[in-house]
């Protein structure tokens, strides 16, 4: 990356960035708030632990399953049009989720909201990568964008606690207000773009990928409650569907994913790192919330405030991270971030019935720094060097990795916690076992992304 200073943004560019950052902040805070609200939702709707995670997982599956189609739609139908249209859908189903009276109604609304986010996010990301020229200016915009997303992800914990103290339904209603404001500004500020003529859509590929992810997550979550043979059968079905997805993409005249783009080692490392980073965090948040609220009997406000310190990344991501990236390069900063995430989970392992919050504080601070260092540089690495006409696709692949990581990480941690509990009430040992999964994922992230250090060194030379 160039060490030159990024050019100053014009007022219109700042306006565009404000709208897009507002949308990604909304999406980050939406999924994070839900984690803090889960115990209150469980109490009113009567969801067991194994089903509770579907409130978050359904959103992630809808998001990750359709984000590639969303990237294609943004490239062909117009990025502004897709952004505005699906922001309206996001607003509508978020409100419907707040009106749910049964668990299945809430889960269905969450899935639909995730689908809307799956179209909204790649449209927003590709607006950035086509509005700002590749180089320091685009890198600066992407770091602000990714830092805002990470900040929303972290600050959602305290916001979720405050809103849940009023009632958990406000966790759904508050995003409606924010989305309405963003909609008004987006219509005014976002640049218009003509649709690309003659484009086709790979609906079969999108549906196959979504069903494959759903079956895989379902197999993992239900593993503690069903026969091993059934779990193995479901895993085989998921693998067959993924293989079918590959065949569809190879034969499609307009594939959802041009498989050749995945041959880039740097892009593959970035997406695997993204999957492991978010997967480990979602598992950690699930464990931390159950620990504080159900074993320590903390209120939702106390839980949100306790976890909010990890939101330090909202300050560090747009200030410290760009400096480190310019001086050290993406590779070193990403590896440092994932290593700090592993350290944070290790520091949180001593779960006790009377542990002071001051014993948890170092882990939460380190986690905030970890997210600040890893999230933005992963976004740059996953889109850098990609042709402009495939920026929507690259953004879609990255978001798929983030969301599938969230669903898979949460599913694995839930299955481990339920298994360790032995069908009984939650225990410290069960939650500690789930936390070890998050730790292992972060360590694996370091192993996956570390080879990028050597590549960056050669490129710099």
Residues 6+ apart with CB under 8 A from 438: 279, 280, 281, 283, 284, 287, 345, 409, 413
Q: For 1-14, what is the mean pLDDT?
A: 61
Does 199 have pLDDT greater than 70? Answer: no
Please give the share of the chain, as a percent, with pLDDT higher than 90. 25
Does 113 have pLDDT greater than 90? Answer: yes
**Whole-number pLDDT of residue 453:** 61
Most confident of 38-52, 54-68, 158-172: 158-172
**Whole-number pLDDT of residue 387:** 74
Q: What are 266-314's pLDDT values in tens digits?
A: 888 889 999 999 999 989 988 998 899 888 988 888 888 888 788 787 7
Q: What are 123-157's pLDDT values in tens digits?
A: 888 888 777 777 777 777 877 887 787 677 667 77
Does 99 have pLDDT greater than 70? Answer: yes
Report the distance separating Cα 243 and Cα 248, nearest Å: 9
Asked if 91 and 176 touch (Cβ cutoff 8 Å), the reply is yes
Q: Dump the DSSP string for 383-405.
A: HTT--GGGHHHHHHHHHHHHHHH
Residues 6+ apart with CB under 8 A from 160: 32, 33, 34, 35, 36, 37, 171, 300, 304
Cβ-based burial of 327 (10 A; exposed 0-12, middle 13-18, buried ≥19): exposed
394 phi-psi bin (left φ>0, alpha ψ -120 to 50, beta other): alpha
Global confidence as pTM? 0.79
Report the distance separating Cα 58 and Cα 98, nearest Å: 15
Q: For 209-235, what is the mean pLDDT?
A: 83
Pick from 98, 120, 18, 36: nearest CA to 311: 36
Report the distance separating Cα 106 and Cα 96, nearest Å: 8
Asked if 322 and 2 touch (Cβ cutoff 8 Å), the reply is no
Does 225 have pLDDT greater than 80? Answer: no
């Amino acid at each position: 990356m160039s060490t030159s200073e990024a050019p100053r943004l014009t007022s219109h560019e700042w306006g565009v960035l404000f709208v897009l950052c507002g949308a990604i902040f909304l999406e980050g805070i939406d999924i994070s708030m839900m984690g803090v609200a889960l115990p209150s939702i469980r109490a009113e709707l009567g969801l067991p632990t194994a089903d509770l995670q579907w409130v978050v997982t359904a959103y992630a599956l809808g998001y990750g399953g359709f984000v590639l189609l969303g990237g294609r739609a943004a490239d062909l139908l117009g990025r502004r049009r897709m952004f505005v249209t699906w922001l309206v859908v996001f607003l509508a189903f978020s409100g419907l989720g707040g009106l749910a009276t049964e668990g299945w109604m809430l889960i269905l609304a969450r899935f639909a909201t995730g689908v809307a986010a799956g179209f909204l996010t790649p449209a927003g990301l590709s607006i950035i990568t086509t509005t700002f020229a590749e180089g320091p200016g685009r890198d600066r915009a992407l770091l602000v964008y990714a830092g805002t997303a990470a900040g929303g992800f972290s600050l959602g914990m305290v916001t979720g606690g405050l809103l849940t103290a009023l009632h958990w339904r406000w966790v759904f209603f508050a995003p409606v207000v924010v989305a309405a404001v963003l909609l008004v500004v987006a219509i005014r500020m976002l640049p218009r773009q003509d649709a690309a003529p003659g484009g086709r859509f790979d609906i079969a590929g999108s549906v196959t990928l979504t069903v494959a992810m759903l079956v895989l997550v379902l197999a993992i979550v239900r593993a503690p409650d069903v026969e091993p043979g059934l779990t193995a059968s479901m895993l085989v079905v998921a693998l067959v569907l993924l293989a079918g997805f590959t065949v569809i993409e190879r034969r499609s005249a307009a594939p959802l994913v041009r498989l050749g783009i995945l041959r880039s080692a740097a892009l593959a490392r970035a997406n695997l790192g993204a999957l492991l980073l978010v997967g480990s965090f979602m598992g950690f948040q699930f464990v931390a919330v159950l620990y504080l609220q159900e074993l320590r009997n903390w209120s939702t406000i106390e839980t949100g405030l306790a976890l909010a310190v990890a939101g330090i990344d909202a300050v560090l991501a747009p200030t410290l991270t760009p400096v480190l990236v310019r001086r050290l390069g993406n590779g070193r900063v990403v590896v440092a971030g994932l290593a700090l995430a592993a350290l944070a989970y290790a520091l949180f392992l001593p779960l006790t019935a009377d542990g002071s919050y001051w014993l948890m504080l170092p882990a939460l601070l380190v986690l905030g720094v970890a997210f600040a260092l890893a999230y933005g540089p992963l976004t740059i690495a996953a889109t850098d060097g990609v042709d402009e006409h495939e920026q929507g696709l690259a953004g879609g692949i990255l978001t798929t990795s983030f969301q599938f990581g969230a669903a898979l990480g949460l599913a694995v941690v839930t299955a481990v916690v339920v298994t360790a509990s032995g069908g009984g009430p939650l225990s410290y040992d069960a939650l500690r076992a789930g936390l070890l999964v998050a730790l292992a994922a972060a360590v694996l992230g370091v192993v996956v992304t570390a080879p990028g250090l050597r590549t960056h060194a050669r490129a710099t030379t």
